[in-house]
Chains A and B, each alone.
Chain A
Amino acid sequence: MSRSAAMLIMGVFTLYFLTPIWWLLVSSSKTGGEITSTAPLWFTMDSAPTFLANLGNLFTYSDGVFGRWLANSALYAGLGALMGTVIAAMCGYALAKYEFRGREALFNIVLSGVLVPATALALPLFLIFSEVKLTNTLWAVFLPSLVSPFGVYLARIYAAASVPTELLEAARLDGSSEVRTFFTVSTRLMAPALVTIFLFQFVAIWNNFFLPLIMLRDQVLFPVTLGLYAWNSQISQIPELRVLVIVGALVSILPLIGTFLALQRFWSSGLGAGSVK
């Protein structure tokens, strides 16, 4: 294949991947009428003030519930992924670096957990949570998000490859406790895998739809995706929501893109861990 053919393929697909996002950005700077009446992929003369006005409406509509949704998503996905990563890393590390009875059996159970579709768990979880009166609470979405079998799998593979047993022996000789060794020495060696696990889980929780959909009734508890979904399904009755849905969609993807860009250096080296045998 020639260089120009390769560049052509990549160029065409760049348009495919970026045009929808570009359209979202451009449309966010238009009024409801302008979205259909002006050039869809280019700005109008007063794009900047319209964009700011749309943004203002987005954050004030319905007592500023959108800001609340963003904060909820940040809590569910940020704190959930952070705690989930530590929990998964500890388990994967133990499976990689210690020999104990039932280790392989345990790993196989966790692995089969990877294959269980999350949506198949959501409904029984809803029934269990309604028994213990936990539905329509923060906990109903937060707690199940802490479990990441795939995180354990990645952590095990990466710990086995990147934490030398000799180093653990040396730490033991120096009198460091197992737990201290893990948190001060091993986690540093596992850093790329930890960032990768964090990001995967962050995205998985941020994108999770079924669980919040069936667990939450109270708008104030919604994550941003569910909130926008709710607005989008009301467009036919409340047409002015269309602009808010478009601006809201743009605002809601910025945190994820920002997180990826900020952590890019770390996760790209950990990404291959799951696929290298």
Chain B
Amino acid sequence: MKVTRPSTAPAAALGTPKTRKAKTTGAQRRAVFLFIAPFGVLFLAFYAVPIIFAVVQSLLTVERKGTFGPPRQVFGGLVQYQQVFQNTEFWESVGRVLLFGVVQVPIMLGLALLFALLLDSPLLKGKKFFRLAFFAPYAVPGVIAAIMWGFLYSPSLSPFEAVTSEVNFLSAELVLWAIANIVTWVYVGYNMLIIYSSLLAIPTEIYEAARLDGASNLQIAWRIKIPLVVPAIILTGVFSIIGTLQLLAEPQTLRSFSSAISSTFTPNLAVYTTASVPNYNLAAAFSVVLALATFVLSFVFLKATQRKVSQ
């Protein structure tokens, strides 16, 4: 294709003598701009700007002249953050979701891996059916899943009355694990499919070679398959961590079934409650702390698991 416009100056600036295969032409550069601009604009407007806005809001504080004077926002420095760190309810909610995550995420990913390995093994018949049946709950939105399980947990409505009359899943002691069950029910199949599709991508010659060396199915799963799907497990792990810290729809919906869920049960519920008081500045500070915590946790998890892989 002809170079329509020479535009030598920027081309020279770009053309640091790296191992460039083909020169980027002006038309190509315009195309890149066209391809990136729509996403770029939306990303700026609905990701970058809100984050900056939240940080700014979190540094402001509301001041009133007298008790009934008009409220005025003034720069308050880290006042909101001081409040965040002194807010015991918020930290209790953080502790609660961390406990939730430490228990629920390994169980969910362990089950997902087990199902994926079984689907990939020669042991199973009717794979297509199991794949669909296990994945079906993913099509149920969190709110709807919580409503459904809310009925199933309720002593008076549950089809499992024999169980629910003995064990109160909606009690203060158990409701966190009742939510964990809902989240697991919804997401196991989704994680299973991600791991399963990366198992399918492994070339089968590897298994044949291992079998010739006398490896059993279990050894092949443990020594070959699992190490090769570690990237998929990491991906599902990061998404699960983000999901855990974001818990909102399920506990908020279950509140109409259980009085054991407080308005600050999870960090996001605390943010929502604070925002509806309304104390936007404090809620913004909660959001910033929460986003940072998610970011750090995901990052640490990524680094820790990747180091293990490269060893």
Interface residues of A (CB under 8 A from B): 1-3, 6-7, 9-10, 13-14, 16-18, 20-21, 23-24, 27, 35-36, 40-41, 87-88, 90-91, 93-95, 98-101, 106, 109-110, 112-113, 115-121, 123-128, 143-144, 146-147, 149, 152, 165, 169, 172-173, 175, 177-179, 182, 203, 206-207, 209-210, 213-214, 225-226, 228-229, 232-233, 235-236, 245-246, 249, 252-253, 256-257, 260-261, 268-269, 271-272, 274-277
Contacts and interface: CB of A to CB of B under 8 A. Distances in A.
Given A21-B137, A123-B271, A179-B31, 20 more contacts: A6-B118, A9-B114, A10-B124, A20-B148, A35-B157, A90-B38, A98-B31, A113-B47, A115-B242, A115-B298, A119-B271, A120-B290, A123-B275, A147-B46, A206-B141, A210-B249, A249-B144, A275-B197, A275-B236, A276-B201
B284 interface: yes
Nearest to B47: A113
A257 B143 CA distance: 16
A101 B130 CA distance: 47
12 contacts: A14-B133, A20-B185, A35-B157, A88-B39, A94-B32, A95-B36, A115-B298, A144-B46, A175-B1, A179-B35, A253-B141, A257-B136
Nearest to B129: A14
B147 A249 contact: yes
B25 to A, nearest CB: 9
A257 B291 CA distance: 32
The 6 nearest A-B residue pairs measured at CB: A40-B159, A178-B31, A275-B232, A272-B197, A94-B35, A91-B39
B98 to A, nearest CB: 15
Nearest to A42: B159
Contacts of A90: 34-36, 38-39
A40 B148 CA distance: 13
Nearest to B130: A10
B36 A274 contact: no
A253 B232 contact: no
B200 A272 contact: yes
B interface, over-half SS: helix
Given A14-B130, A123-B275, A207-B142, A128 B298 contact: no
Contacts of B255: 233
A116 B47 contact: yes
A203 B238 CA distance: 18
Interface residues of B, number: 104
A23 B144 CA distance: 13
Given A14-B133, A271-B194, A149 B235 contact: no
A261 B129 CA distance: 12
